[in-house]
Structure 1
Amino acid sequence: MNCKQVAKDTARVLQNYLTYQAVRTIINQLSETNPSQALWLRQYTSSHNIQEGEVYLEELMNENKELVLRIMSVREHLAEAVLEFLPEMVRVGISQANMEHRRQLLTRLTQSQPVSSTPHPEASESEVDDSFNP
């Protein structure tokens, strides 16, 4: 396993997500202060791929430089506010989720299922045949 590559990929996904959150924040702010610009940004975002945050910002730069600067500023603020707590939150979240999945798996493995050699009387012959097809 290449942990360094996993870390790079994770950082890129997080950076893209923070860009998305910054855009959402700005749309919400603009909805109160400048509804027409909020509508424009919402429409622009719906027609451009925001999943690639850096490409999105480069394309938006051709349309509205002020919004790009605002998005970058909000994204940076979000990163500073969130990243301090993120490592522990991710570790705890994964640990708790894994524990729950293991509990469910153990429950399923320890439940005894009655083995039936004959199909249920209400099942048609075609349903029984279909159930055996891969």
Structure 2
Amino acid sequence: MTRCNELSFAELHAMNGSELEQYAERGEASRSDLSRGVVHQLHLSDNWLCDMEHRCEFGTGAPVNIRLTLKSHPQVVVCLTSSSDDVPFWQMHLPFDGGASVAWLCCSETFEPSLIFDALRTLGTLVATGLNTPEQLAATLRKNGGAV
């Protein structure tokens, strides 16, 4: 059994897309270390389920690809991807219309857990008000400037 490397916020924040890809290319264990490090830094509440990509099964090709699902509303899934050689931004979006459309919740050149946490908290607040489909959430977020 191998020991997981605990990546700090400073390490994750400092890595650019090329460095993230180089780290992930060391093998599946390293790629998992990246994803676990990100999830650890997010300090997710018990309201969210987390699914981390291990081998490219989500299809984006980013070194870190995480799907967060709201436990109380499993149709609400948020996708978080790291920067890469091809895309120089960390991105988080909410798919809707069966995945045909997305509402972009945040985009940053570096790993910024506070931006991600704020977007997740906003989603949780909107769900608590009765909005519980990705379509309703996307429309409201766009009206209020919380998504593009």
Q: If the TM-score is normalised by the length of the shorter chain, which range does it land in? A: under 0.3
The structure that is strand-richer by fraction is 2
Which structure ranks higher in relative contact order (CA pairs < 8 Å, sequence separation ≥ 6)? 1
**Could you tell me the TM-score, scaled by structure 2's length?**
0.24
